[in-house]
Amino acid sequence: MTVPALAISNLAKSFDRPVINNLGLTVRAGEFYALLGPNGAGKTTILRMVAGLLQPDAGDIAIFGIDVRSHPLAAKQIVAWVSDEPMVYDRLTPLEYLEFVAGLWQIDAHTAEAKSHELLDWLGLAPHANDLCGSFSKGTLQKVALAGALVHDPRLIILDEPLTGLDAGSARQVKDVLLQKVRQGVTVIMTTHILEVAERMAERIGVIAHGRLIAEGTLAELRARVGRETSLEEIFLDLVAAEPAAA
C-alpha cells in the first residue's frame, strides 16, 4: 500500500476547553482533499498541528510516513503551509521575497531565480515582480504568499481559506495552480467555506464538527450518506445539524 500523504490518529488538543477530540484523518497521496466545517470547528487548529506550528496534546501525525513531532524538519521540507493571513515582508518585492525564501531552503541562486519567475508568471504576478509588497492589496499578498510556499516544490500543500478576499480572476489563477499541482502528483488539502469550490475541485471531502471528523468521502458518497441527490451545501448543513456538540 502506498504511504498516505497525511495520516492523523487519535489527535487531541485543548485550549481552555477541548477543541480537537480523538481525531483520525487520512489523505491519500496525490489527492485534492477539502476540509469543511462550521466556524470554530477546529480546522485551522488541525492544520496548524500538521504544519508543526502547534503542539498536539496527544496523537500522531505523519506526512508521507514522517512523524511530525519526532522529525519536524524533515516533515517541513515536504510541506507547504499557506495561512489565511499572508505574512510577507513589506519592504521586499515579490521577486526578492521568493529568492529570499528559496535561500532559506538552500536552493541555488540560478534555480531560485528561474523558479521565482515561473511562480510569478503562474499566478499573474509578473507585472508586480519589482513592486514593494507593502503596496499590495490583501489578495495580491495572498498570491505572493502562495508563491512563496511553493518555492521548495512541496509534496503536500496545505491551504487555509486560500480564496477568501480574492477577486474572480485571482481565485481562478490560484485554483488553476492548485489543479496543475495535483495533476503533477502533489497532494492538496484545503479548508474552504466556499462549498461550490469544494464540490467542483475536491476528490474527497472531510467534514469537521466539534473537533471530530463527522463525515468523509467523495461527493457521491456524501450524497449517499444523507440519502439525497443534492448540493454539497445541503449535505453539509444536514450533516452538521445532525451532529451533537458533545462527544
Ligand X SMILES: Nc1ncnc2c1ncn2[C@@H]1O[C@H](COP(=O)(O)OP(=O)(O)OP(=O)(O)O)[C@@H](O)[C@H]1O
Grid coordinates representing 62 are 505523519
In this structure, the chain runs to a length of 247
Q: Is 40 in the site for ligand X (CB under 6 A)?
A: yes
- Nearest CB to ligand X, comparing residues 99 and 160: 160
Q: Which of 5, 32, 33, 43 binds ligand X (CB under 6 A)?
A: 43
Cβ neighbours of residue 96 closer than 8 Å, sequence gap 6 or more: none
Q: Which of 11, 41, 141, 202 binds ligand X (CB under 6 A)?
A: 41
Within residues 68-127, the interface with ligand X by CB under 6 A covers none
- Nearest CB to ligand X, comparing residues 220 and 245: 245
Contact region for ligand X (CB under 6 A) — 3-11, 38-46, 115-123, 130-138? Answer: 38-46
- Nearest CB to ligand X, comparing residues 40 and 103: 40
- Nearest CB to ligand X, comparing residues 41 and 82: 41
We find the least distance from the C-beta atom of residue 75 to ligand X, in angstroms, to be 20
CB 97 within 8 A of CB 134: no
Alpha carbon distance 169, 145 (integer Å): 17
Contact region for ligand X (CB under 6 A) — 36-44, 56-64, 199-207, 221-229? Answer: 36-44
What is the per-residue binding string for ligand X in 13-32, x denoting contact by CB under 6 A?
--x---x-------------
- Nearest CB to ligand X, comparing residues 78 and 194: 194
Q: Which of 4, 8, 36, 37 binds ligand X (CB under 6 A)?
A: 37
Q: Which of 42, 56, 86, 154 binds ligand X (CB under 6 A)?
A: 42
- From the number of C-beta atoms within 10 Å of its C-beta (0-12, 13-18, 19+), residue 196 rates as exposed
Using alpha carbons, list the distances in angstroms from residue 69 to 60, 74, 127, 202.
8, 10, 41, 28
Alpha carbon distance 168, 177 (integer Å): 14
Contact region for ligand X (CB under 6 A) — 35-43, 91-99, 150-158, 215-223? Answer: 35-43
- Nearest CB to ligand X, comparing residues 11 and 66: 11
Chain-centroid distance, C-alpha 90? 24
Output the 3-class SS for 84-96.
CCCCCCCCCCHHH
Alpha carbon distance 63, 75 (integer Å): 6
We find the least distance from the C-beta atom of residue 212 to ligand X, in angstroms, to be 12
Classified as helix, coil or strand, 111 is helix
Alpha carbon distance 185, 10 (integer Å): 28
Question: Where do contacts with ligand X occur on this chain (CB under 6 A)?
Answer: 15, 19, 37, 39-45
